[in-house]
Amino acid sequence: MDKLIITPKTKIFDLLEAYPQLEDVLIAVAPPFKKLKNPVLRKTITKITTLSQASVIGGIKVEELINKLRAEVGQTATDSIETEDSNYTTEKPDWFDESNISESIDIREMLNAGEQPVHEVLALLKKLDSGKILKVIAPFIPAPLIDKSLSLNYEHWLNKKGDEEFLVYFKA
C-alpha cells in the first residue's frame, strides 16, 4: 500500500495513522503539540486540523514543518509549498471595542475534555447581534475555528496573551 504523501492539507489524524512515529517529531517541533498525548483530543482535534493549520498553532513555517516530517519518513523535501494563505488578523482592528463584547467562551476546558468547540462557538456567533463581539479564550491558535469563521465572513482579531492563552474576538 502506498504511504500517505505529506502536504499542508494532510490532516494530523491521517498523518499519525500512517506514521505514528511522527508524534514525537511534531511535539519536538512545536511544544503545543504535546496535547496530542491526550487520547481524547487526538481523536477529535486531529481529524479536522491540517498541517497548514498546525503550523500556525505551532508557530512554525509550514514549509519547515512539512519538510521536517517528510525527511523523517524518507520523502523528498519540497522547495515551495502551496498553502492557503492564513490571513489571521493580529493587529487590533478599528471595530474592536471592549464594550461590544456580548458573549465569552473559554474553550480550554472543552478541548481538555476532548470536545470539539467549533460547533458551539459557531452557534454563539450566529446568535450575535450585528456589531457585537464574541470573545473566545483558547490554549493555542484555534486555526480550524478561525478558518471556518473566515469562510462565513466573520471578522476576527487574534490576540496572543501568553504561550497557552490566545484570545480571539469575532465580530458579527
The CATH class that applies to domain 98-171 reads: alpha beta
Query: Domain map of the chain by residue range?
Result: 12-72, 98-171
47, 13 in Cβ contact below 8 A?
Answer: yes
What is the structure's pLDDT at 124?
Answer: 95
pLDDT in tens, the chain (172 residues): 458 899 999 999 999 999 999 999 998 888 888 888 888 778 888 888 899 988 888 888 888 999 999 999 999 887 665 555 557 888 999 999 999 999 999 998 888 777 878 889 999 999 999 999 999 999 888 888 888 898 899 999 999 888 778 999 999 8
Distance CA 82, CA 138 (A): 28
How far apart (Å, rounded) are the C-alpha atoms in residues 161 and 87?
19
DSSP 8-state code for residue 93? P
Q: Which residues make Cβ contacts (< 8 Å) with residue 139, sequence separation at least 6?
A: 32, 35, 108, 111, 164, 165, 166
DSSP of 97-158: -GGGEEEEEE-HHHHHTT---HHHHHHHHHHPPTT-EEEEEESS--HHHHHHHHHTT-EEEE
pTM score, whole prediction = 0.68
List, as one string, the DSSP characters of 11-56.
Answer: BHHHHHHH-TTHHHHHHHH-GGGGGGGSHHHHHHHHHH-BHHHHHH
